[in-house]
Structure 1
Amino acid sequence: MYKLIAIDIDDTLINDEKEVTPATQQALEQAIAQDVVVTLATGRAYASAQAIARQTGLNVPIITYQGALVKNLLDEEVLYERYVPVEAATKLFEYCIRHNLHLQTYIDDKLYSREDNDKIKEYTALNRTPYYVEPDFKKLVDQPTPKMLIIDEPAFLDELGPKLRELLGDQVHITKSKPNFLEIMHHEGTKGHALKFLAAHFGCSPSDCIAIGDSWNDHEMLEAAGLGVAMGNAIPALKEIADYVTLSNNEDGVKHVIEKFILGKEN
């Protein structure tokens, strides 16, 4: 019997209308009624993920910023936190200045950009979060941040990723949450690290966990979990490493997983 389910939000828990359907909501409640811990594991900021978690009635710690922050919903106690090392953050900032790249960062759960442009506007339209413009971005770089993010064309970011890994070294974890979002965290700021931490927090093993996602930034937690599930709409690379492929986010794929592996219903 699985004891914990960690669910990605975008293109996984929510459909393309950015909603948790009533059918999926009911499945979440049924899993919780079976004493299964249901949590979220997302690249989103805590404030953004918190809003969705509260809508679904969750009251447990949630995994945010790709795994760099695990925080209670009830009392907002921080259980696990990993910041981008300042040396790496500074190198990344200087590189982005030299190459005129769009870089944004999070300080105290607030999103900051160096300038007001279409990239930050489109990004915040996706997850409905406010943002702040700070031209003196260097003073932000010296402050603790769980995540920094570059927005650009997918092919360009595919080439940039290896360059930044060479520049920043093994201090950081670099992943893509969407084709045009390259995200930089502490090297232990992954959903896989956070899932293992949360499993121990609840007194179970990662093998007792189900992880559900759609993008490459989910692969560490799918690999860490006893049952790694890729959505029907997941990228091919994630489906290849998954133990199971469910329906898409527009077909209540999360509900399908809960019914099959928690409630024992034949789908």
Structure 2
Amino acid sequence: MDVDGGPPRLIALDVDGTLLKTGTPVSDRVVTAVRAAVATGTHIVVSTGRTMVTTRPVLEELGLVRGHAICSNGAVHIDIERADPVAVHHFDPAPAVTALRELFPEMIFTAERVGHGVWATGASPGEYYPGGEYLVVDDLTLGSEPTPRLNCWWPEGSTAEMRRLIDELAIPDISWVYGEFGPWLTISRHGISKGWALERLRGLLDIPRSATLAIGDGFNDREMFAWAGHSVAMANAPAELHDVVDEVTVDVTADGVAAVLERWF
């Protein structure tokens, strides 16, 4: 996409670390920029690792009442006006839970229950967003039903040690992505990603790839960056992500999303 040319027609925006600093509201400046884009007919697609339940408050803050949102790293596609998922891509979490439990006895798992909340094997700081039930269960129960997203947190571990231990771990039919900060994994069905889901949506909307824009800050945004006609990382993203995008904007606390959108809207 020519940043000096016409405006993008499909804009994918990550949430935590991008639209907002986790635990705080979206700033007035970012809300204004997003609403200005929507007013021109541009498709704003919130694209997040959050569950559908915990994404809804962000959609409300932005004033998005129709259109599409991509949740759970691409595994859940929702129709905002209907407030329902139009596509959910599940996988069996039991093999991953079993294999990871052997490596990490203290690991805490949270499995999404679409539209309701999560099942978890303990208290996890990765599920502190408002809304939805948080039901503590055992491993057997958590692995008994398909889920679109499995979060895995190693409370006493380090990111480097986690990566070393799972470097050669093979679990069929799943993909995982590391968290940016701390010993986290998020697991989805093999091949599912934000970029994959956004490409399906782009085809549905019949928008040329050259008219797409993506802004994010995490390792789960890699495929989204590769998908976009123009990709933008936040200044607060890990440094290695700065090397795979077309542009780096300012920090989330300095309204980096607005700084980009205000060029056109």
Residue type matched to 1:18 in 2?
A: T
Counterparts of 1:16 and 1:47 in 2: how far apart (Å)?
A: 16
Structure 1 contact 96–103 (Cα < 8 Å) conserved:
no
Q: Kindly provide the amino acid, as one letter, of the partner of residue 223 in structure 2.
A: E
Structure 1 unmatched runs, 5+: none
- In structure 2, relative to structure 1, the CA distance for the partners of 1:61 and 1:16 (3 Å cut) is closer
**Native 8 Å contact 1:43 1:177 kept in 2:** no
Identity of aligned residues (%): 24
1:225 aligns with: 228
1:128 aligns with 2:133: no
- Structure 1 equivalent of residue 178 of structure 2: 176
Residue 238 of structure 2 aligns to which amino acid in structure 1?
Answer: I
Q: Say whether the 8 Å CA contact 1:3–1:37 is kept in structure 2.
A: yes
1:197 matched residue in structure 2: 200
Give per-residue Cα distances to partners, 1:34-90, cap 9 Å, x unaligned. 211111110000110111111211122101001111111111343332112x2xx22
Instruction: Give the counterpart of 2:18 among 12, 31, 39.
Output: 12
Q: 1:98 aligns with which of 92, 98, 102?
A: 102
Distance, in Å, in 2 between the alignment partners of 1:161 and 1:236 is 23
Give the C-alpha shift of residue 146 in structure 1. Answer: 0.4
> Residue in 2 aligned with 1:157?
162
Counterpart check, 1:241 vs 2:244: yes
CA shift, 1:201, in A, is: 2.1
Structure 2 residue identity aligned to 1:7:
L
Could you say if the C-alpha distance between residues 37 and 160 of structure 1 is closer, same or farther in structure 2, counting changes exceeding 3 Å?
farther
CA contact (8 A) 1:216 1:237 kept: no
After superposition, the CA RMSD in angstroms is 1.8
For residue 203 of structure 1, what is the amino acid of its counterpart?
D
- Given that 2:70 and 2:197 are in contact with CA atoms closer than 8 Å, whether structure 1 keeps it comes out as yes
1:34 to 29, 35, 40: 40
Q: CA deviation at 1:16?
A: 5.5
Partner residue, 2:148:
146
- Normalising to structure 1: TM-score of the pair? 0.87
Unaligned runs of 5+ in 2: 1-5
Query: Do the aligned residues in 2 keep the contact of 1:7 with 1:40 (CA within 8 Å)?
Result: yes
Matches within 5 A, 1:32-111: 32-58=38-64, 59-84=66-91, 86=92, 89-99=93-103, 100=105, 101-109=107-115, 110-111=117-118
The CA deviation at 1:108 is 2.9
Work out the CA distance in 1 between the residues paired with 2:162 and 2:218. 15
Q: Is the contact between residue 52 and residue 114 of structure 2 (CA under 8 Å) also seen in structure 1? A: no
**2: CA distance between counterparts of 1:75 and 1:234?**
33
Distance 2:150 2:110 in 1: 6
Q: Is the 8 A contact 1:61 1:72 kept in 2?
A: yes
Aligned partner of residue 13 in structure 1, secondary structure: coil
Count of paired positions: 250
Query: Retained in 2: the 8 A contact 1:231–1:246?
Result: yes
**Distance across 1 between alignment mates of 2:62 and 2:56:** 10
Q: Could you list the per-position Cα deviations for residues 113-154 of structure 1 after superposition, in whole angstroms to 9, with x for gaps in the alignment?
A: 12x34xx1x2233x235411112x323323120011111232
SS of 1:40's partner is: strand
Change (3 A) 1:54 1:176: same
Equivalence for 1:208: 211
Contact 2:53/2:114, CA 8 A, preserved across alignment: no
Question: 1:217 & 1:96 partners in 2: Cα distance?
Answer: 20
Say which SS state the counterpart of residue 17 (structure 2) adopts.
helix
Q: Distance in 2 between matches of 1:51 and 1:150?
A: 24
Give the deviation of 1:17 after TM superposition: 5.3
